[in-house]
Amino acid sequence: MTPLSLFYIMLAGLGIGWLASMLGIGGGVLIVPTLTLILHFPIKHAIAVSLIGVSATSLMAASNYLKSGLVDVELGITLESSTILGALTGGLLSGYLKSGILYILFAILVIYTAYVMWAGKKVKDIENNGYSHLTEGVGFSYFAGLASALLGIGGGVLKVPIMNLVMNVPVRTAVATSSFMIGMTAVTGVFPYIERGEADFHVAGAIVIGTLIGAYIGSRIMRKIPTLILKRAFAVILFLVGVRMFIKGI
């Protein structure tokens, strides 16, 4: 990998970080398609890079949420005990799955994300910080961790609805607690990829630098752009990306 190639990857990461922060979605949903469809990385290598990138960039968001007091640390640790087990399962399972299956699974995730962005997130407006259905939350969190490591995503697209819609956690607390958990989930999930030699740390470093800069820029200008129009337009693009990955998978 030449320095110029890494520079282009960093620029791609900048765009990913900007879009992710503007649209309120996890960068993993964008990193994997960019690396596979545009830069022609093998999907397992792209997933490994995405997990490293997600774990690094989530630290910044988590630190801000911790300072603001929005994170329910006790809930996060409780759910993460199950999520980490799921992430380890997903990382190990990916070694046995054919690339085509991973493309199809990721295509389904991307199309689902496009639908959520187009329709708008359904959330419960909850006033207190209490939560219920802990057993169900722990069970669902296992599958969120599995999907995270299997597809190279942070898992917020799954964790936030689990906490808000299933466990009755206020949406802001759910988002903050999910960000607190993402780093631990991604780090656990990437270990099997590293063991199999599928993680390129040079590419991951370029992605991390780019996404951090992009996320900073996006957070500065997000109020100046009509995000509804941006979300609708990008939902269409994500849908087309999902269809393209599905076709590549089959």
Q: Across residues 86-112, what is the average pLDDT?
A: 94
pLDDT in tens, 146-157: 999 999 988 777
Which pLDDT score, from 0 to 100, does residue 129 have? 57
Cβ proximity of 142 and 82 under 8 Å:
yes
> pLDDT value at position 205?
94
CA distance 200 to 51: 11
Give dist(CA 168, CA 132) in Å, integer: 6
Average pLDDT, the chain: 87
Token look-up 């603001």 returns 68
Q: Specify the pLDDT at position 146.
A: 95
Per-residue confidence (pLDDT) for residue 206, from 0 to 100: 95
Which residue has 């993680």 as its token pair?
199
* Residue 203: HSE in the Cβ half-sphere, 13 Å Cα cutoff: 21
pLDDT for the residue numbered 52: 92
Which is more confidently placed, 129 or 174?
174
Residue 15's identity, in one-letter code, is G
Q: Name which of 34-43, 52-61, 222-231 the model is least confident about.
A: 222-231
Q: What is the pLDDT of residue 65?
A: 79
Neighbours of 244 (CB within 10 A): 16
pLDDT at 121 (0 to 100)? 62
| pTM attached to this predicted model | 0.89
